[in-house]
Amino acid sequence: IEVLICTGTGGIASGSLKVAEAFEEEFKKHGIEAKVGKRCEVKKTGCRGLCANDVLVDIMVPGKEGVTYDFVTPELVPQIVEEHIVGGEPVPKKTAGAYYAKFLEKQHRTIFSRCGHIDAESIDDYIANHGFKGIKRAVTMKPEEVIEEVKKSGLRGRGGGGFPTGVKWSFAKGSPGELKYLICNADEGDPGAFMDRSLLEGDPYCIIEGMMVAAYAIGCTYGYVYVRAEYPLAIKRLQMAIDTCVERGILGDNCMGLGFKFNLRIKAGAGAFVCGEETALMASIEGHRGMSRPRPPFPAVRGLWGKPTNINNVETYANVTYILERGADWYASIGTEGTKGTKIFAVTGKVKHTGLVEVPAGVTMREVLYDVCGGILNNRKFKAVQAGGPSGGCLPVEAIDAQVDYDSLIKAGAMMGSGGLVVMDETTCMVDIARFFLTFTRRESCGKCIPCRIGLKIMLEILERICSGEGREGDIELLEDMAYDIKKSSLCGLGQTAPNPVLSTIRYFRHEYEAHIKEKE
Ligand code: SF4
């Protein structure tokens, strides 16, 4: 019998370690194994998505369907053990309601399939659940064939840009040079986004495996995982996983005895949003202040310490592991023409069930918010969803049937970004939302180029005066002009996308700006 307990950051914050202790004590105190005639094991897993209902506990009895309990406290544990594990009947009214089954039913859990089911710290559990099959298959192919396989899968970078991953790899492979670097960008900085953190906490070996595949294909001998320091549990579990891989010869000078060299280390970032931009990230690894630099040269040609470098994010490498294990055709059969595979979203704000959701690309925003997340909190009216983080855009009710894929979201005025969805209801002021996101990006601007450093400051001043009832005639047009200029002339992605929340709220909610300005008159 297995007791699976969520010990991701959300679970721990809700007291899951105490719940785990309570199960272990109860097992010992009552000699449970002797009583039920089966081995009972408490497994500390990663996040399973429905974070708002932590602590989540699954009781897995062989031959029976697993039962999930939510909002579990240490006080409830003796009853679960006595009635369910010993007595064989789930505790009435304490199991997760029908919404939990619905929450899972509409999803397509692939990349996230091991999170919440395996012991995140156990390499043996990873191996027992198809671990390292992807890299074992990869090394039966030539490096060029691995790149072709990734191209054929249609995988696009999950960090936000959506650039085809296989094409990116071929650039780095084609760059001359003996020494090449591989980087995993785990500097997840969007407010409300925690997909990468959960993957690192719940399935760290999967990310290492995806990086090994990339290293083999491109010819990189050294790799870095750049993780924000605000993710201490992700760093701890990843370091533990790297150390175990080194001990077992999975990483090192002859990875798994398969004849290629790859060493991996973690670099903890100091929490600057701009370090999610790849040139600023590399500057930070090199020990400089995290500031962007002009491209070209692109990292594939001149990256970390001037050497050819490939950078992908956490979710992209996780996808690679599954593509190599199951094949490009399997992967390409999921999703839409332009966006293959699944996408993990972090849904926060005014929905009934917040948390992490993995859906095939191409489902609609309505399906994500209503079918999976249960609709709007307190049965209020949906007003908008901010897709793509502070660099994305707000989609109104008219766009709720937009498909969730790279191209459809851009057409609707937002972007996939890394996968943050912040939901707003009818009580939300959209001008205030624009001000909130611009406050964030202005504060995070590295200050290197004038359009972003000064332009965002002035845009924020205009928004602040509109919000405080001091708006002037012509302010909306001024905001639009400045937004387009900043987008065109900023040096890096932060400045090029920071005005998006302002532009999309003006596009869909202009009347709210006008009402604020009119209030004054
Ligand atoms: Fe720095 Fe902003 Fe310019 Fe990027 S756009 S280099 S964040 S000032």
- The count of other CB atoms within 10 Å of the CB of residue 140 is 9
* Cβ of residue 487 lying under 6 Å from some atom of ligand 1: no
Q: Which of 391, 487, 490 to mutate to test the pocket of ligand 1 (most atoms within 8 A of CB)?
A: 490
Is the CA virtual torsion 206, 207, 208, 210 positive or negative? Answer: positive
Q: What pLDDT does residue 414 have?
A: 78
* pLDDT one digit per residue (tens) for the chain, 521 residues: 999 999 999 999 999 999 999 999 999 988 988 888 889 999 999 998 888 889 999 999 988 889 999 999 999 999 999 999 999 999 988 888 788 888 888 899 999 999 999 999 999 999 999 999 999 999 999 999 999 999 999 999 998 788 999 999 999 999 999 999 999 999 998 888 899 999 999 999 999 999 999 999 999 999 999 999 999 999 999 999 999 999 999 999 999 998 899 999 999 998 899 999 999 999 999 999 999 999 999 999 999 999 999 999 999 999 999 999 999 999 999 999 999 999 999 999 999 999 999 999 999 999 999 999 999 999 999 999 998 888 888 889 988 999 998 888 888 877 887 788 999 999 999 999 999 999 999 999 999 999 999 999 999 999 999 999 999 999 999 999 999 999 999 999 999 999 999 999 999 999 999 999 987 55
Dist CA 100 CA 50 (whole Å): 8
Ligand 1 center–CA 408 separation, angstroms? 27
pLDDT at 520: 59
Question: What's the 440 CA to ligand 1 centre distance in angstroms?
Answer: 13
Q: Is 341 helix (H, G, I), strand (E, B) or coil?
A: coil
Give the per-residue pLDDT at 294: 93
For β-strands 393-396 and 309-313, DSSP reports them as: unpaired
pLDDT score, position 167: 98
Query: Could you tell me the distance, in angstroms and rounded to a whole number, from the CA of residue 503 to the centre of ligand 1?
Result: 19
Give every CB contact of residue 201 below 8 A, 6+ residues apart in sequence.
8, 9, 46, 47, 120, 231, 233, 234, 237
- Cβ partners under 8 Å of residue 370, min gap 6: none
Ligand 1 atom with the smallest distance to the CA of 496 is 5
User: Which of 446, 450, 482 to probe ligand 1 with, by most ligand atoms within 8 A of CB?
Assistant: 446
Question: Which pLDDT belongs to residue 391?
Answer: 81
Q: Is the ipTM of this complex over 0.90?
A: yes
Q: How far is the CA of 197 from the centre of ligand 1 (A)?
A: 25
Whether 445 is in the pocket of ligand 1, judged by its Cβ within 6 Å, is yes
pLDDT of the residue at 90: 93
Determine the Cα–Cα distance for residues 112 and 343; give it in Å rounded to an integer. Answer: 10
- The sheet with strand 420-425 has its strands ordered as 355-360, 342-349, 420-425, 382-387, 393-396
Ligand 1 within 6 A of 418 CB?
A: no
Q: How far is the CA of 494 from the centre of ligand 1 (A)?
A: 6
3-state SS, residue 77: helix
Domains in the chain and their CATH numbers?
2-105 (3.40.30.10), 123-332 (3.40.50.11540), 342-423 (3.10.20.600), 430-520 (1.20.1440.230)
Ligand 1 pocket residue status of 274, Cβ below 6 Å: yes
| 446 Cα to the center of ligand 1, angstroms | 5
Candidates 195, 176, 177, 175; CA nearest to 185 is: 195
Distance of CA 441 from the midpoint of ligand 1 (Å): 10
What's the rounded Cα separation, in Å, for the pair 292 and 4? 43
Which residue puts its alpha carbon closest to atom 3 of ligand 1?
449
Q: Is the CB of 442 under 6 A from ligand 1?
A: no
Which of the listed residues 295, 444, 448 should we mutate to test ligand 1's pocket, taking the one with most ligand atoms within 8 A of CB?
A: 448
pLDDT at 409: 86
Which atom of ligand 1 is nearest the CA belonging to 446? 1
Is any ligand 1 atom within 6 A of the Cβ of residue 446?
Answer: yes
Q: Do residues 90 and 81 lie in contact, with contact meaning Cβ atoms separated by under 8 Å?
A: no
Q: Is the CB of 498 under 6 A from ligand 1?
A: no
**pLDDT at residue 182, as a whole number:** 98
What is the structure's pLDDT at 380?
A: 95
CA distance 173 to 219: 7
Residue 403: CB within 6 Å of ligand 1?
A: no
Residue 407: name the closest of 328, 334, 335 by CA: 335
Both tokens of 367, joined, read 């399906």
Ligand 1: nearest atom to the Cα of 490? 5
Q: How many Å lie between the centroid of ligand 1 and the Cα of residue 287?
A: 19
Which of 445, 450, 460, 489 has the most ligand 1 atoms within 8 A of CB, as the residue to mutate? 445
